[in-house]
Structures are given as C-alpha cells and as structure tokens.
Amino acid sequence: PQGSEKAKTFVHGFLKRSMPKMKDEAIQDMLSRKAVVLEHYPKKKQKQKRKKTKGFTAKQRRELRLFEIEPEQQRYAIFLPLHELWKQYIRDLCHGLKPDAQPHMIQGKLLKADLHGAIVTVTKSKCPSYVGITGIILQEFKHVFKIITKEDKLKVVPKLNNVFSLELDGFISYIYGSKFLLRASERSAKKFKLKGTIDL
C-alpha cells in the first residue's frame, strides 16, 4: 500500500539524518529487521555541589566569647559533680579498674578518653611555676588545658614541655603533654604508640 511506502521512505530518511556515517547497505539491512534500535547518549547530569553550612570563624568565636568561662562560674565546687561523672565514665570505659587489670590496656583507653572533668597534677615542667598545679580539667584545646584549682583559680597550662598525672582508684597515669598536642576530637581517632622516646 501507498502508506507503507511513505513510512519506509520516512524511516530511511530519518536513519540517514540520524546516522550520517552509516552506509546505505547498512541502513537497508536495518530496515529489513522487524525492530530498529536507535542508540541514545543521554547528557551527563552535573552533580550539584552541596553547600556546606558555614559555622563561626575562629575570630567570630573569640568575639562572641563562646569558650569563655564567666568569673562567677570559676568555682571548684561547681565542677566536682563533673569529676564524679568522669570517674564513672572511666570505670565503665575500662570495665572497672580492678587490681588485676593490665596497665597498658588502661593506658591505651585513657589516651583516647575525654579528659573533661579529670583531676590532674603537673608533676614535671620546664617552667617550675607550673609544677604542683592541681585541678579539674574544664576545657582541652590543642595546645593547652584550662584547669580550675581548689583555690577557685582558672589556670591555663600549656601541654608542651609539661608532664601531667591523673589518679583514679589507685591507678596513676602520666600524660606527656608534648606527645598530646591534639584536640580531644582528633585524639579519639589517633593511634598512639605506647612505647617510644619520652622527654619534655
């Protein structure tokens, strides 16, 4: 019928336009089949970049005094409950500090533990004025500890060149600040070597 001839001519012309590099013999071969499959290359969708939520810059945090402890809050007694919570946290973390517990296992857990609330003492220091400072750790930064003493004084003690000790249930652990120059969040994911050179 005349309709089928028109359809054949249209399909032949369409294939010629769509695939100009294909020879007539190949087109005729395609037309002899019951179905014609046209190749289609969809455009690659560009991935939309997610906008990161912008937090405060270091300068803005300083201006807003987000990490400042108000003078009226700088009292040792206020933070004693925090120390009690910390002791329970360490006991749970170490499955109870029993006399037969392996020291290196406890030491390994303490290296990654959160120290906010721990009572520490500066036992050695290249600066003699730091030796003997004892108090509860209120804040831990990359380079310093902020410690509240029993005299209600807030001390900022650098980690570098200082050795700290902490005691819990008769177990005494020493922190070499020079090997501890990390933020608390980074420390939890770091692999520490329990053996190595120890110095101030």
- The total number of structural domains in the chain stands at 2
- Is residue 165, in this structure, part of any structural domain at all? yes
CB 175 within 8 A of CB 164: yes
What is the structure's pLDDT at 178? 85
CB 136 within 8 A of CB 147: yes
pLDDT, position 6: 79
Residue 114, pLDDT > 80, answer yes
Report pTM: 0.65
Identify which of 22-26, 28-32, 70-74, 181-185 has the greatest average pLDDT. Answer: 70-74
Does residue 39 lie within any of the structural domains? no
User: Do residues 5 and 88 share a domain?
Assistant: no
Residue 40 pLDDT: 60
Residues 81 and 4 in one domain: no
Least confident span in 3-7, 70-74, 107-111: 3-7
Residues 89 and 146 in one domain: yes
Q: Are 19 and 78 in a shared domain?
A: no
Domain that holds residue 11: 1-33
Fill in the DSSP letter of residue 15: H
Quick check: is 195 in a domain?
no
Could you report the per-residue pLDDT of 172-182, keeping only the tens digit for each?
Answer: 888 888 888 88
Task: Report d(CA 68, CA 64) in Å as an integer.
Answer: 9
HEC string of 6-33? HHHHHHHHHHHHHCCCCCHHHHHHHHCC
Q: Is the pLDDT of residue 35 over 70?
A: no
pLDDT in tens, 130-153: 999 999 999 998 899 999 999 999
Q: Is residue 42 part of a domain?
A: no
Residue 62: pLDDT over 90: no
Report, as an integer, the average pLDDT of 69-82: 90
